[in-house]
Chains A and B, each alone.
Chain A
């Protein structure tokens, strides 16, 4: 097995721990016996064919989906039906969606300040200052007072990243953040993600941008039919895939 080589680094606290986790949609067994440990500062790329359960897996981490068996512990808090725990986890976990999901009736600035004001109870002035800082970091401070509908796809996704960062999360989940973008806008979003990785943010990214995976990932995970089939550091993952399924997938995606 290749896993042994890339287990959690020694001495690093485990940040996310998933043990023997299963999930069903009705009768459909969508996630099977998932075991995954993410340490602080680790950057993980998850790939796999469409419908393999990648989105479902990362959506379980902030309980947008409920798992039925096994354990998910985030920052020492176990995700159960307990609403307090769920809220506590969601405060620490930021998420970026494929379809942006910005709030169209609020300005860019209001999108960014809403949660800090109401969840973190931050005074409005402070929340706005924080929001402007992150909007500058994703390089669109000049759009602060526009509505999402007035921005391009790439700009909207950068706002979505800024919105998540405003909550000062300890980990960021990305679900195919560039799949809904026109090709010329992919880079501006990836650049933001690369710089975020450079600052030591813990990240789980579902993406098929293999260049991004090579550049920033500590570990690449390959999923198929609800299982984690294989995981490895990027160099070995791409140069020496172990399973037939991985090889097939890579041959399709890398042409």
Chain B
């Protein structure tokens, strides 16, 4: 070999083996490019870093270092002395059962606890692809019956707890779970109806329903469901307040979801339906096997958006006197001894909300990737 061919491997390796220049790689490279590229950038970065560190250390001091974790009985003097310096987590310590389960009979609160655990178990099972078969329906049926039995009682030696006493997390989970489960099929039918060509009456009905419901705030629908609806019912027939709120939430969510799904239906190329028609598939087979699977996949992000919004919107039931978790938290600081510790109560509830919403968001991202694997054109 001559000395010309020997210097380093660079001459021999193909282009594919080359790495980008060192300065563009890794954390350091990224930081140099994005945070410190010129003096202005550097100044802004340093300033922001300073505020960030100060704010975080302040929060850590408040939330952990100087926090009061418990107080004797209802004597909140220690908390009041630490106002502004340390958080009063003693409130959560004292009131967590009320926040989580509202006015549910105290000794029986293990029942709503198990009910919530069952809900979460149902979510987890439904999220796993390996359970996507005909048994999933059965699992849900059994799970929901068990939750109903636990909450109501009156059988198997469980004492009856009337629905007026329910509150907290189970209410939030019940309203949003049945809200999504009920709104989803209704929304699909509304979206299909709105796009149908052969049946003008059905199409008009769907359009009117969607536009009417979307045109008014959820609060007014809840209010109507709670106050006006019973006026139209015959005497003696009294539908439970929670059920009325549930129906209102389902109708509201369905109207929004229907428009999201319609967007997905519109994105499917005409040729897909034509190919299904040419093969002789019926309208429902075509819709179920060809159109919907593709349309729903496209709209997973906006659909989850709607679900997350709906999960949080259930807190509006407070205006008709139902104690969901947010309302329960708000009520927990009414007692004079605990007044003024709203921040702690709201942080605790916000953390719970965040847990559920973030899980939904993460799962939907994973689902999108899973479902699109291999199918890209």
Contact = CB atoms under 8 A, between A and B. Distances in A.
Interface of A: 62, 64, 87, 90-91, 93-95, 97, 99, 101-106, 114-115, 118-119, 146-150, 163-164, 167
Interface in B257-316: 269, 271-272, 274-282, 285, 289-290, 293-294, 297
Nearest to B297: A105
A90 B279 contact: yes
Contacts of A119: 279-282, 285
B47 interface: no
Q: Which 8 A-B pairs have the closest CB atoms?
A: A101-B275, A115-B279, A101-B271, A90-B280, A95-B278, A149-B377, A119-B280, A91-B280
B134 interface: no
Nearest to B271: A101
B130 interface: no
Given A90-B280, A95-B278, A104-B377, A118 B285 contact: yes
A74 B80 CA distance: 88
Interface of B is mostly: helix
B129 interface: no
Given A87-B282, A104-B294, 13 more contacts: A90-B278, A97-B274, A99-B271, A101-B272, A102-B275, A103-B290, A104-B377, A114-B279, A118-B285, A119-B279, A149-B376, A150-B374, A167-B280
A81 B306 CA distance: 40
A119 B165 CA distance: 53
A62 B278 contact: yes
B53 interface: no
Contact of A163 (B269, B279, B290): B279
Contacts of B280: 87, 90-91, 115, 119, 167
Contacts of A97: 271, 274-275
A146 B375 CA distance: 9
A25 B290 CA distance: 27
Contacts of B276: 103
B272 A64 contact: no
A114 B279 CA distance: 9
Given A104-B375, A105-B375, A149-B374, A164 B293 contact: no
Given A97-B271, A103-B272, A147 B278 contact: no
Contacts of B376: 149
Nearest to B280: A90
B337 to A, nearest CB: 59
B300 to A, nearest CB: 13
B294 A105 contact: yes
A186 B290 CA distance: 28
B280 to A, nearest CB: 4
A93 B278 contact: yes
12 contacts: A87-B280, A90-B278, A90-B280, A99-B271, A101-B269, A101-B272, A103-B272, A104-B377, A118-B289, A119-B280, A149-B375, A149-B376
A118 B269 CA distance: 22
Contacts of B375: 104-105, 147, 149
A106 B290 CA distance: 9
A249 B194 CA distance: 45
A224 to B, nearest CB: 25
Contacts of B279: 90, 114-115, 119, 163-164, 167
A64 B277 contact: yes
Contacts of A150: 374
- Pick from B275, B276, B279, B374 the residue with the most CB of A within 10 Å: B279
A47 B374 CA distance: 37
